[in-house]
Amino acid sequence: MIEIPESTLLSRQMTETLSGKRINDVMNATNLHRFTWFNGDARRYPEILIGRTVREVKGYGSFVDVFLDENVHLVVHDGVNIRYNSETEKCPSKFQLLIVFDDGSYLVFSVVMYGGIYAFSHDFDNPYYKGSFQKLSPLDDRFDLDYFHRMINTTGKNLSVKALLATEQRIPGLGNGVLQDILYNAGINPRSKVATLSDQTIKGLFSSIKETLSEMISYGGRNTEKDIFGRNGGYHCKMSKNTYYELCPNCASRIMKEAYMGGSVYYCPACQNIDK
């Protein structure tokens, strides 16, 4: 899934790889995924995109925004996998969108669970898209401890910590994926109520948000996700679908996996005791 580390790193990588390339062809879905969302009729995407040149790519929240000339955008969101291939590589048979550039290279967009692929000119009236760049990112220096306290006070303290951080787009791009290590590093259980957290624990949570995301980015993304060349990131997630059958790296307790709030949470029952 595209979260803050992925949108940051994919946008950098795509800017370096794609800038100056002109779109020569656009191929629509060969095997349409029912949970792939498009902006209007995807059959119009060739009309919107062909002939446009990539200027730069920006990432914010869970969005990767490809800026083209003539104020045209191609935006991907959530669970869209993006792969870049050279002209010598075989084109896959199943995809949701394929973009061919003037040098014969191409981008393939595919979806496993759900995701959005949006092509538009000038403006896209989508509250999640606009919220992702209008709200402060934890990577921004202005996202400081005072800002975090105001967010908590505005939201209320009866929510669980998971609900505070990963719902309602309060922090766009901080989703259930990066949440797990943020809470593990802070020693907080996902089910803990915000009202039960001490000022010192809230300060530790704030620091963990900043430090964990920065570490994920510095190591080239999470090892549960891939870049545009199909390479996994170098950050080893401590709490994830790949580690829940292992032992806690801190205390050797068995890592727990539970269904909570529409997704799975992973935590150490000793290091992240809900009564701490």
**What are the tens digits of pLDDT across the range 207-229?**
999 999 999 999 999 999 999 99
Q: Does 158 have pLDDT greater than 60?
A: yes
- Domains: count for the chain: 2
Give pLDDT, residue 6. 97
Picking from 109, 133, 157, the residue at the C-terminal end of a domain is 133
CATH code where residue 121 lies: 3.20.190.10
Together in a domain, 51 and 106: yes
Structural domain that includes position 244: 136-267
Q: Does residue 218 form part of some domain?
A: yes
Threshold 0.85, pTM exceeds = yes
Is pLDDT of 276 > 60? no
Q: Which residues contact 140 (CB under 8 A, 6 or more apart)?
A: none
Residue 82, both tokens:
């993006």
> Is the predicted pLDDT of residue 63 greater than 70, yes or no?
yes
CA-to-CA separations, 205 to 152, 164, 210, 211, 215, in angstroms, rounded: 12, 12, 9, 10, 15
**What is the average pLDDT score of the chain?**
94
Mean pLDDT of 80-84: 97
Assigned domain for 210 exists: yes
Residue 80 has pLDDT above 90, yes or no: yes
Residues 113 and 84 in one domain: yes
Boundary residue ending a domain (117, 133, 149): 133
The residue out of 70, 103, 133 marking a domain boundary is 133
d(CA 181, CA 179): 6
Report the C-alpha gap between 27 and 65 in whole angstroms.
Answer: 19
CB of 97 closer than 8 Å to CB of 111: no
